[in-house]
Amino acid sequence: MRKIVPIFFLIPLFALSQSTSFEFHSPENIKKFADNLFCEGDYLRAIEQFELINEKLDDDTVKFKIMLGYSELGFFSESNEIFKGINDKSIFYPDAYLLSFKNQLISEPGLISASSINSFNSLQLKSFNKLNAISMLYGDEFNISRENFISPFDGDEQNSISTFYNYKVEPPYKSPALAGTLSAIIPGSGKIYVGEWGDGITSLLATGLLAFLAYDNFRADHTTRAWIFTGLGAFFYAGNIYGSIASAQIFNARIDFEFNNGLKLFLKEQNYFLPEYDFCN
């Protein structure tokens, strides 16, 4: 009889523990755990948990959080793959569409193809128009007036966006051909043309000095030394022309880098004109 009593009490405890274990692994509890990870910024683990229940719940909220998590982690192609599974009738579809636009703008800016959708509200449409205007800056063809280009942007934003417009329409490039021609006429002038005054003056003095030494030795009938200085002078002269062309190309590459880097920084400061998605209140 004494053995039966403890067993009688253990049976409900065992059943309770089994029930608790089962509930812990239910989709609803996994979603709560994933939501907590998401709110803490642990996107990778949150995505792992969301993926466990994504097909079971078929919830567009879960899909959008996975998409947003991948985007925050920098996995833009994975984020856009999730977008393909979001129902176009969902309330999250417009925001997901904008997020996919942002992902493509970061990962493949030269391959952007987008069109507006009917389910945008006024704020979403405004964000789309801004992103669409920004995407034009990455294209090879840029045929749009300043007024039309800056019209989607607000007052403070227009000042910054006008600068990018000017860079796109009239980039402050230096002509490599002109730099080479100038240095061929006056050694070092091509370097000065691209703003490298120190190198330009050095090239002028070095080439001029070698030319003078060659001339002076020819006049003194020191033929061997004259030809040595002539060869060195020719080498410096040719190198000066090549260096001027290369400097112009480097200058232009720096302009492109500063343009793209500045544009990325501007978009990041503006959060890519997307709303702050708050699922944690």
Neighbours of 203 (CB within 10 A): 26
Whether residue 246 has pLDDT greater than 90: yes
Label residue 8 by pLDDT band (50, 70, 90): very low
Label residue 254 by pLDDT band (50, 70, 90): very high
Give the angle subtended at the CA of 20 by the CAs of 17 and 22, to the nearest 5°: 110
The amino acid occupying position 232 is L
Read off the pLDDT of residues 147-174 as tens digits, 9 standing for 90 and up: 888 888 888 888 889 999 999 888 899 9
Read off the pLDDT of residues 177-225 as tens digits, 9 standing for 90 and up: 999 999 899 888 888 989 889 888 888 888 888 888 888 888 888 888 8
For residue 135, the model assigns a pLDDT of 86
**How is the chain split into domains, by residue range?**
87-168, 176-265
pTM above 0.85, yes or no: no
For residue 24, the model assigns a pLDDT of 57
For residue 23, the model assigns a pLDDT of 60
For residue 10, the model assigns a pLDDT of 47
Find all residues with CB under 8 Å of 47, minimum gap 6, and list them. 66, 69, 70
Neighbours of 238 (CB within 10 A): 13
Count of alpha carbons within 13 Å of 276, Cβ hemisphere only?
5
Q: Which residue has the tokens 């920098």?
A: 74
